[in-house]
Amino acid sequence: MSKTYIIAVIPGDGTGPEVVAEGMKVLAAASRKFGFTLEYTNFDFGGERYLRTGETLPGSAIGELGKFDSIFLGAIGHPDVKPGILETGILLKIRFALDQYINLRPVRLYPNVETPLRDKGPEHIDFVVIRENTGGIYTGHGGATRVGTPDEIATQLMIYDRRTVDRCLKYAFELKKKRNAKNPKYAEKPITLIHKRNVLTHCGDLWYRAFEEMGAKQYPELKRDYNHVDAANMWFVKNPEWFDVTVTENLFGDIITDLGAMIQGGLGVASGGNINPEGVSMFEPMGGSAPKYTGKKVINPMAAIGAAMMMLDTLGEAGAAQAIETAMMAVMRKMKSQAAGNMGYSTTEVGDMVADLV
Ligand code: IPM
Ligand code: MN
């Protein structure tokens, strides 16, 4: 009997539904070719639902989502909803409640995709950022007093405990081992911890010691390196070829992965996975809901297709994931650009072409 995976789909807002549809088209092609079945359940979480009902996620949502094999998300964000409500009420809520403690963001420049980095090509830009996804400043510890007065005080604390750090590092070291085995080019490069331990002497020190201890004891064969986050930003631009697996805390990871997305060709091609290695993961294109492109069929679905590919890989369908990536690369070679509105094809045409080649 063929394997069946049950997938929760959250198309979300703006261009989310458009790109999710193309991702599903490609998933359908892969499931036919590789002999597995995907069953979908749609959830209407997002800005429209919030404006209609006043609710971000219903009370039952997390329990229900937790029953699926995986979650495929389009985009969350609505121009008529105040910033912060949907982000914390939906996206961050799911990441935290389902303990998706890894945010895996590959930064890979595919052939024929334009990067703003002069003199850099696909051979230079091929690394991953592992962003810790449940701790740090995102935990929301802190508060504000005397709000609105000249004496106002606000705090938002960077919280980390050893267990949260260790489980993230473990994932990073294991991924580094896998990548080294796959490609000798990766094996020449270190695993890099990114933090700011020259200033964050408590949190940075915790991460650094945990990294050094785990590396020395459990992975002595792997080269280790450390970069301060400001310097890492600089090297991502100047010498991206130095990097393979990088690992960092939540907010730093948020910031450097937008830079990563740009050097790999923009948000049209950047995908990410919110991964709970022991539970239910959620895959998404990194871009937002792009209101100005909504309904025009000009948004690039590649990032959503890439997210679908990552989802299959995580579900254990490595062959299908590889086939999707190969098809994506072939289609990227034909496209004029990866920028919305300038692809030389419509959103659905890009999805059709990838699906045809899987
Ligand atoms: C991201 C986004 C989110 C984050 C926002 C929308 C809450 O920027 O996925 O990188 O900060 O994690
Ligand atoms: Mn971000």
Q: Are residues 219 and 135 in the same domain?
A: yes
pLDDT of 322 above 80: yes
Q: Are residues 304 and 179 in the same domain?
A: no
Can you give the pLDDT at residue 2? 81
Query: 110 — phi, psi (to 5°)?
Result: -85, 155
Q: Are residues 257 and 278 in the same domain?
A: no
Q: Are residues 99 and 68 in the same domain?
A: yes
Q: Are residues 254 and 119 in the same domain?
A: yes
Output the domain CATH number for residue 348.
Answer: 3.40.718.10
Q: Are residues 162 and 248 in the same domain?
A: yes
Token pair 């999710």 is at which residue?
20
Tell which of 264, 283, 303 closes a domain. Answer: 264
Mean pLDDT, residues 117-146 taken together = 97
Q: Are residues 157 and 250 in the same domain?
A: yes
The whole-angstrom separation of Cα 86 and Cα 82 is 8
Q: Are residues 82 and 119 in the same domain?
A: no
Question: Residue 254 CA: which ligand 1 atom is closest?
Answer: 10
Q: Are residues 87 and 184 in the same domain?
A: no
Q: Please state, rounded to an integer, the average pLDDT across all residues of the chain.
A: 97
Question: Residue 257 CA: which ligand 1 atom is closest?
Answer: 10
pLDDT of 347 above 80: yes
3-state secondary structure 226-258: EEEHHHHHHHHHHCHHHCCEEEECHHHHHHHHH
Q: What is the pLDDT of residues 190-222, one digit of tens each?
A: 999 999 999 999 999 999 999 999 999 999 999
Number of structural domains (the chain) is: 2
Q: Are residues 133 and 250 in the same domain?
A: yes
Q: Are residues 299 and 223 in the same domain?
A: no
Tell which of 246, 264, 282 closes a domain. Answer: 264
Distance (Å) from CA 254 to ligand 1 centroid = 7
Can you give the pLDDT at residue 1? 60
Question: Residue 250 CA: which ligand 1 atom is closest?
Answer: 12
Distance (Å) from CA 293 to ligand 1 centroid = 20
pLDDT of 273 above 80: yes
Distance (Å) from CA 250 to ligand 1 centroid = 10
Residues touching ligand 1 (Cβ under 6 Å) are: 87, 91-92, 254
Give me the domain span that covers residue 303: 1-112+265-358
Amino acid, single-letter form, for residue 282: M
Nearest CA to ligand 1 atom 5: 87
DSSP state of 159: B
Which pTM does this prediction carry? 0.97
Query: 345 — phi, psi (to 5°)?
Result: -145, 165
Q: Which ligand minimizes its atom distance to the CA of 259?
A: 2
| Cβ 7 vs Cβ 282: under 8 Å | no
Alpha helices in the chain (DSSP H): 16-34, 47-53, 61-65, 85-86, 93-97, 162-182, 184-187, 203-218, 229-238, 250-263, 302-315, 318-334, 347-357
Distance (Å) from CA 102 to ligand 2 centroid = 14
Other Cβ atoms less than 10 A from the Cβ of 220: the count is: 8
Q: Are residues 108 and 120 in the same domain?
A: no
Size (the chain), residues:
358
Tell which of 209, 233, 264 closes a domain. Answer: 264
The whole-angstrom separation of Cα 159 and Cα 84 is 20
Nearest CA to ligand 1 atom 11: 254
Mean pLDDT, residues 35-39 taken together = 97
Mean pLDDT, residues 282-287 taken together = 96
